Structure 1
Amino acid sequence: MKTTFTYKQVKGCCIKGDFYPSQEKNAPLIVYIHGGGLIWGTRKDMREEQINLYHQAGFNVCSIDYRLAPETKLPEITEDIRDVLHWLQEEGSKTYDFDASKMAVTGSSAGGYLALLSGTLTIRPKAIVSFYGYGNIIGDWYTKPSPHFLKMTKVPEHLVKQLIQSHTIAEAPIERRYAIYLYCRQQGKWIDYITSLNPRLNVAKLKAYCPVENIDADFPPTLLLHGNADKDVPFQESADMYQSLSNAGITTQLITIPNGEHSFDENMENPTVTKAFEQVISFLKSNL
């Protein structure tokens, strides 16, 4: 049975996680980070089919919230990921039955990015699985207007300003926040809104938040999954991350989903997706 916990409070905002226990004793733990461009989403976004799949394979599952941008900036969001890993190791392991030495971080899209970023922190997981995540936030795809999103209805800046809250938030539905992301992609201003830094003038500062630039010998084994027809996050992001990890001698694997678009894993009935999750389970069992 799911239980909800609060792992930190900031400015009156409770940041929570949902723990889904395995029936097996002292089983490994999978920490899931939701996507949403760091702008929307909630721990409740994790699909029930995936939770059940991990349970059947003998894993505990924990889906977490983190503070959302642009109300909170990327350095503080990164702190949330570090803090939840610390909380789970030090406090969560006293409350829940799991093996704190066998913890993996998974995530999709922006959650995949944060999962990869967790491999650069002072507290690191033992393995990482990134679904269509990205390693380079200062590439042209994020700092210049997106041809794909420019085909959509243009979002005016005044609407975006109306949607931004005056207080810290850690949960938000896509319906209330997607326009912020769409505006950022149409204008090439995602970095500006997420960090308040100019990507042309603050390259050195921003590289600290690019996983592909911060791979060391202790980077965890990493599995990357990406559709080669993704119009939101370019497939090349995972390809580049795979190459850099391989060059550094890190255990890594890239699973390409043929004709797979963004959020391909929502279609769990697709045989290609089913096979991909079998490979995810195998990777996790081999590296935890």
Structure 2
Amino acid sequence: MNEKIIEQTTTETFVYGHSAQLPLKATLYRPEKVRGTLLYFHGGGFLYGHRNDLPAAYRQALLEAGYSLFTFDYPLAPEVPLVDIYQSAQAAIQWFLQDGWHYSGLGKKDYILFGRSAGGYLVSLLSAAFPHVSQIGLIRFYGYQEVLSSTFLAPSAHYQRLPKVAPIEAQQIIEAAPITEGSLAARFPLYLSARQFGNWHTYLGKRAELQLLDQQLQKVNDMPPTFMAHCTDDPDVPFQTSTAFAARLDQVETEWLSDAQHDFDRQANPLADACYQKLISWLNRLT
């Protein structure tokens, strides 16, 4: 992927809302010439991560192709339940439609949702249950379809190969107040424990509320044109969740990668480089 420096890029940070007293921020990366706007939600199992986790090489590639990129905070679980995270994501979209679009450089409200992993679930849910005429596309990288799927309700053989993090140890990681950022070093043990013991859903909130969210994601009528990417041997989120979702869509382009990684694009590499070039080609046809 090209590593040249973009000379005419504007970066701004906004507060789009609050979770309790915690500001929820959005960062805008805007190229000099804009042909489209992406609204991005990060991954991390809802338990860790931060809004600017998209690798710089791929953020740069999108900017060079002419796409403004808004990256959004959301409060992390378990300090906040998933239903509140979803409401924060809705608030982010509403803020963009009311105010943020003025800063994108596009001159109109059209947007494309982009999410990786947990963010992929969020943007799929937003597309299915919180649609808007201004949404012209959906990008989902290795996202999941149901937080209450059998895969996540059972201990993960993949994560059980790693040193155990007992639930009582994991509980000590949880903060007393909402947060929007959690480093891999500080918060990944929480996710690791959740997957080792099959209790991830208990960190996301009440089961009945999670069921309602999952049910809303089954409404895939009138979904916008979609680009999906997933590794065929993903050890974290089953590849079949993406193939099943893609089969239900009328307008979908898929990039199935023969590899055994989850977040295959966490660092720049030839496999991910090629995927992002295909994504940009799809975006250019869409816009």
Indicate whether the TM-score tops 0.5.
yes
Residue of structure 2 aligned with 1:78, choices 70, 73, 86: 86
Question: Does residue 18 of structure 1 match 2:27?
Answer: yes
- Give yes or no for contact 1:230–1:262 (8 Å, CA) kept in 2: yes
Deviation, 1:233, is 0.9
2:205 maps to amino acid: T
Letter in 2 for 1:276: C
Contact 1:89–1:100 (8 Å) recurs in 2 = no
State the 1:23 CA deviation. 0.7
89-98 vs 73-82, which moves further? 89-98
Q: 2:234 aligns with which of 230, 255, 267?
A: 230
Aligned length: 276
Q: Point out where structure 1 has 5 or more consecutive residues left out of the alignment.
A: none
Structure 2 alignment gaps of length 5 or more = 1-9
- Pick which of 107-116 and 89-98 moved more: 89-98
Residue 52 of structure 1: SS of its match in structure 2?
helix
| 2:34 corresponds to 1:29 | no
Structure-1 residue corresponding to 2:274: 275
For 2:211 and 2:74, locate their aligned partners in 1 and report how far apart those are by CA, in whole Å: 20
Work out the percentage of aligned pairs sharing the same amino acid: 26
| C-alpha spacing 1:260/1:99, structure 2 compared with 1 (3 Å) | farther
Q: Mean Cα displacement is larger for which, 91-100 or 29-38?
A: 91-100
Q: Secondary structure at the match of 1:209?
A: helix
Retained in 1: the 8 A contact 2:39–2:112?
A: yes
Q: 1:165 to 1:100 in 2, by over 3 A?
A: farther
Deviation at 1:85, TM superposition (A): 1.1
Q: Distance in 1 between the 2:108 and 2:211 partners?
A: 31
Q: 1:40 to 1:205 in 2, by over 3 A?
A: closer
Write the mapping of 1:1-288 to structure 2, written as runs, cut at 5 A.
1-25=10-34, 27-124=35-132, 125-197=135-207, 202=208, 206-209=211-214, 212-216=217-221, 218-245=222-249, 250-270=250-270, 272-288=271-287
Separation in structure 1 between the aligned mates of residue 286 and residue 256 of structure 2, nearest angstrom: 20
2:138 match: secondary structure:
strand
Deviation of 1:136 after TM superposition, in Å, equals 2.1
1:236-288 CA-to-partner distances (Å, cap 9, x unmatched) read 1111111122xxxx211221111241111134331x32221121112222233
Contact 1:39–1:177 (8 Å) recurs in 2: yes
When the two structures are superposed, what TM-score results if normalisation uses the length of structure 1?
0.90
- Corresponding letter in the other structure for 2:65: A
